[in-house]
Amino acid sequence: MQFVLGFLPPSMLPDVRDRLRTAFGPQRAEQRLDPLSQLIKSLISARTYDEVAWAAFVRLRAAFPDWSALGRADPRRIEATIDTVTFADRKARQLPVLIRVLQLRPAQLDLAHLADMEIDAAMTWLQGLPGVGCKAAAAVLNFSTLNRRALVVDSHVHRTVRRLGLVGRSALPSEAYAMLMAEAPEDWGAEDLFELHWLLKKLSQSICTLEKPACGLCPFAADCPRVDATIAAGAPLAFPAR
């Protein structure tokens, strides 16, 4: 297999998925949140370890069993509840604003209308909400009970797809999202993109790590444009952080 920087024939993503599946096993959703809960979780998860973000989300859910109450909540109470996440103060100010914006259109508070929108329109609609970017929008669509066809490009996926040459080295996350969505086989559904996300994330967390990827252990060692033969044979490599 030969990756070509910035361009990937549609047939290559299944091969990437299959190699990663062989390495890490199949990935399936064990539980899915409702769309609004997923949106709130995604917003408090930014730049935060998954387990820390999940614990904060659970505390927030317990403090506000009715999410609409977040719109009237004192940001200081929210911040105290999610204080373990990065930028808790900023996120605590964002959440009430988000809920109040959604409450201007009460029929859309549960985000159920996204189930029937074209995926690009749904992404655009979500990214029009305060504080919502490409990653959070795709997470709402793909990770939640909506189970829509969108690939979540978080920092882990972003790093590995650039190193692999699946997208250009300087591609922004939103650009990587667009390129990978365009390259995904037409017959791939939401579950395929869900699995690709988690497989790439596992690769990033366990082998293609930020500073010292273990290329000799990687299923792409023979093909990856970031690796020479010496490294592919097992020598560690230190990459500049990016």
**What string of H, E and C letters represents the secondary structure of 75-138?**
HHHHHHHCCCCCCHHHHHHHHHHHHHHHHCCHHHCCCHHHHCCCHHHHHHHHHCCCCCCHHHHH
Site for ligand SF4 in 40-69 (CB under 6 A): none
Question: Phi then psi for 7, rounded to 5 degrees?
Answer: -140, 135
Per the listing, tokens 């990459």 go with 239
Residue 221 binding ligand SF4, by CB under 6 A: yes
Contact pick of 163, 197, 201, 202 for ligand SF4 (by CB under 6 A): 163
Closest approach, Cβ 216 to ligand SF4, in A, equals: 8
Of the candidates 136, 157, 180, 241, the one whose C-alpha atom is nearest the C-alpha of residue 13 is 180
Contact pick of 35, 75, 173, 213 for ligand SF4 (by CB under 6 A): 213
Closest approach, Cβ 133 to ligand SF4, in A, equals: 25
Contact pick of 3, 24, 198, 220 for ligand SF4 (by CB under 6 A): 220
85, 48 contact by CB (below 8 A)? yes
Per the listing, tokens 């869900």 go with 194
Q: Which residues, other chains included, contact 93 with Cβ-Cβ below 8 Å and sequence gap of 6+?
A: 75
Residue 227 binding ligand SF4, by CB under 6 A: yes
Residue 207 binding ligand SF4, by CB under 6 A: yes
Residue 164 binding ligand SF4, by CB under 6 A: yes
Closest approach, Cβ 161 to ligand SF4, in A, equals: 9
Residue 24 binding ligand SF4, by CB under 6 A: no
Q: Which stretch binds ligand SF4 (CB under 6 A): 101-109, 122-130, 135-143, 224-232?
A: 224-232
Residue 160 binding ligand SF4, by CB under 6 A: yes
Residue 135 binding ligand SF4, by CB under 6 A: no
Q: Which residues, other chains included, contact 75 with Cβ-Cβ below 8 Å and sequence gap of 6+?
A: 89, 92, 93, 95, 96
